[in-house]
Structure 1
Amino acid sequence: MTQAYAEVIGDPIAQSKSPAIHRFWLAKLGIDADYRACHVLPEDLADYIARRRGDQSWRGCNVTMPHKQTVMALLDAIDPAAAMIGAVNTVVRSADGLLTGHNTDAAGFLEPLRADLVQPHLYRMARIIGAGGAARAIVSALAAQGFTLVVAARDPGKARALLDELAPSGEHHAVALSQFAAPTDFAFDDRAGLYDLVVNASPLGMAGHDPLVLDFSHVPPGSTVYEIVTNPRETPLLAEARRRGFTTVDGLAMLIGQAAAAFEKFFGVPAPRAYDTELRALLSE
């Protein structure tokens, strides 16, 4: 048998940091395997899955934009968590060629927030920008953690449908993305005991995409500003949030967290997280 491998697929894919992450861990553990990137156009997705299904060396793939939902119909089974979210970011091939879809985005997103989430809060609110595949995982994860959600999208109807599907209970709100672009004179009340998140769950601000236009008058005092974009690592959103003194979480946090969960599914051993500082330095070069 040729060398075992996994890969990441998407359109585009050249910007993906996943090969660097998984190869770093494989080297640290001395595992004779590889992890690659494969550019798959939407019209080629079914053929790609059919070809890989018969490849005994292929352990599976991570799935990024725009395939996280469309890939589901091509698989043999969907993990219950992924089925609930309605998006797959990890496909695992069993020894007999059966393909199962998982979602590690939700766990990866929550990982850097765990220390805060174990604390009691009077109220939790998250403002989420985006209504695509990544947003689905984030909405599902935060709803389960007791957040009231405000989802902003170019099409507020899509945001409303996402909330109705994934977080049907609770007083959640769908708004137009443009609402966050214009200044507001809203006076935030005392935030003591409250936990506020502002999350960019969209590709806005990513290299090659439109910028994210967010007026910081919509960001409550004491918020944590969380960016899932990784290219560039220091997005304008993060730079401005840090300049204003907000706590920030960069896109590498979620990327590494979800990759670790996928790595164990592909290669059967936990990712060596003791080297996270070294890995982050590598990814920042």
Structure 2
Amino acid sequence: MNQRAAVLGHPIGHSKSPALHLAAYKALGLDIGYERIDVTEQELPELVARVRAEQNWCGLSVTMPLKRAMVSELDEVHGIAAILGAVNTVVVRGESLVGYNTDVAGIVNALRYVNVVPEPRVAILGGGGTAIAAVAAAAELAASTIEVLVRNRNRADDVVRAAAAIGTTISVRDFTGAAANLAEYDVVISTLPPQAGDFLADEFSQRSSTAQASGKILLDVAYDPWPSALAAAWQQAAGTIVPGLEMLLYQAVEQVKMFTGAPERVSGHVIDVMCDSVGAPRR
């Protein structure tokens, strides 16, 4: 029986995860299918029940808006996912579903190839499941300051709880005036959905001088369309941009290791093949 895997989210049509995973499984000589499944939070329990009942699933990738909702559907949650309360990876072991979070590794690895200053000042845009992972990644980078910028502070409660769980202090503020101050941070991580940060880009472009963001880094996890309006504005201000596609790549590498149960086989060649499948740069 062929094994199956999928990426779950809503909307999900833009996801490049199938290209990454299928390229990896082909390179590994494994007969594992991988598809997109559009699932809302309300529909998630029914989908999870189907996965449990069927006998050919090996894993699920989980994206917005399901990363927190998935936790309550699982038998076990391990590692940083348990601490943060956000899951982006589900490994299927028979009828048992085990949750992990590879987003943190994806963010850290995407940033490790640019010159992040020691103890950077970090701003995180958004307050959802990916923002929770971004807080943990910023802590791993030994950030001296972590500020989370949101539309509504009341929606940042989960991020605040996650930060406390890992022993990290953050501050939360709304987007008012944020664009004018973005270049004051050493690293900005946007976890906003595609085009949700365009209003910040317009304001940033109007207020920034040509080289205002020189030496500063923006990682925008939204990769379609690319460059995002915010990434284009940042680059215009001489800043360094890290495509969200790189975060997607590195978190997917960890997922492939888990879904196949053979991490030692996921070599540099397999990673190169995954890069080529989505046009990501080889590092």
Q: TM-score, normalised by structure 2?
A: 0.85
Aligned to 1:149: 146
Structure 1 distance, partners of 2:92, 2:274, is 27
Aligned to 2:101: 103
Aligned to 1:114: 112
Query: 1:61-80 maps to which residues of 2 (within 5 A)?
Result: 61-80=60-79
1:274 to 272, 275, 278: 272
- Any idea what the Cα deviations from partners look like across 1:71-108, whole Å, max 9, x if unmatched? 111110001310111100111111x3211011110001
Aligned to 1:213: 200
Structure 1 distance, partners of 2:117, 2:10, is 41
- Any idea what the Cα deviations from partners look like across 1:136-183, whole Å, max 9, x if unmatched? 0011121232211111001124336623541475663211112214x4
- Segments of 5+ residues of structure 1 without an aligned counterpart are 189-194
Aligned to 2:188: 198
Query: 1:23-172 maps to which residues of 2 (within 5 A)?
Result: 23-94=22-93, 96-115=94-113, 121=118, 123-147=119-143, 148-159=145-156, 162-167=159-164, 172=170
What SS does the corresponding residue of 2:48 show, helix, strand or coil? helix
Aligned to 2:236: 243
- Segments of 5+ residues of structure 2 without an aligned counterpart are none
Q: Aligned letter for 1:77?
A: E
Structure 2 distance, partners of 1:246, 1:210, is 17
Structure 1 residue runs of 4+, over 4 Å off?
A: 167-171, 217-221
Residues 135 and 212 of structure 1: is their aligned pair in 2 closer, same or farther, counting only changes over 3 Å? Answer: farther
What SS does the corresponding residue of 2:90 show, helix, strand or coil? strand
Q: Aligned letter for 2:69?
A: T
Q: How many residues align?
A: 268
Q: TM-score, normalised by structure 1?
A: 0.85
Percent same amino acid among aligned pairs? Answer: 31
What SS does the corresponding residue of 1:178 show, helix, strand or coil? coil
- Any idea what the Cα deviations from partners look like across 1:198-253, whole Å, max 9, x if unmatched? 11111152xxx573424435875421111100111211111122222211100100
